[in-house]
Structure 1
Amino acid sequence: MANIFGSEQTHNGSFRADDLKMTFGGVGGDGALVQQANFTLTRNVSMLYEIGSTNVYYVGNRRQGQAQLNRIVGGKGNFKAMVEKFGDMCSPDTITLEASGGCKAAAGGATYNLMEATLTTVGASVTAQEIVVTETLGFIFADLEYS
């Protein structure tokens, strides 16, 4: 029997939503209603050139990370505790995003540890259509561990 779209497709694995876990300095993310998380780590590197030669030197390695969480206001009180915890810049902590497992050939995963994170911005928005308050939390972090 011929495939109606012209080519065969092969199932090569699956990922379950519950294979993704997020923790905030040891506090679990369940019930925090986080809808989106993103982060970047930037490393500043400059090039130095030597007069009279073709030598190039890299100078730098200072890093700065930024992260943002978007969540629906509501959920458990552990999110309020997390905001209070990371709101103290004198006691930064680790935010961990762990994507583990999968099914069949998709098994594997990655863990991202946003080291020495502290809260820098808090914002919120609401639309008349949805009547849901969305909160945006911004963080900075000193370094990133990846495994």
Structure 2
Amino acid sequence: MIIYGTALLAACHLLGLFLGDLLGSLIGVKSNVGGVGIAMLLLIFARLYLHKRGLLPQETEQGVAFWGAMYIPVVVAMAATQNVVAALRGGPVAVLGALGAVLVCGCVIALLNRGGSQQAWQPEAETPQDPLA
């Protein structure tokens, strides 16, 4: 059933939030550090594990696939709840970190675009083998 995929997500989400809080306390931050990301990684690993063992019915996999597609909107929603004003008041480190991340990503994208071939990849056509040759 599709609802089992949602239940698997809920279990991964709760475990991810717990691990994110634990990680935050270990590094001395009074906040959840990467709980949503940890939850989505747990969901991916759980899906792969269950699929490999044949324990994941098609309907459940559809529920997991739905939440996997929702990953980006969930991350955007979580990021929107962060206190940006406090981060900017905290010093220029947040601004420099954000600008650095944008510049690095832009450079990597530019390198990938220049390094790729201009023609679309097409598989090689199979040539029939001459059995007499």
Which bin holds the TM-score, normalised by the shorter protein?
A: under 0.3
Normalized per residue, the structure richer in strand is 1
Larger Rg: 2
The one of the two structures with greater contact order (alpha-carbon pairs below 8 A, sep at least 6) is 1
Normalized per residue, the structure richer in helix is 2
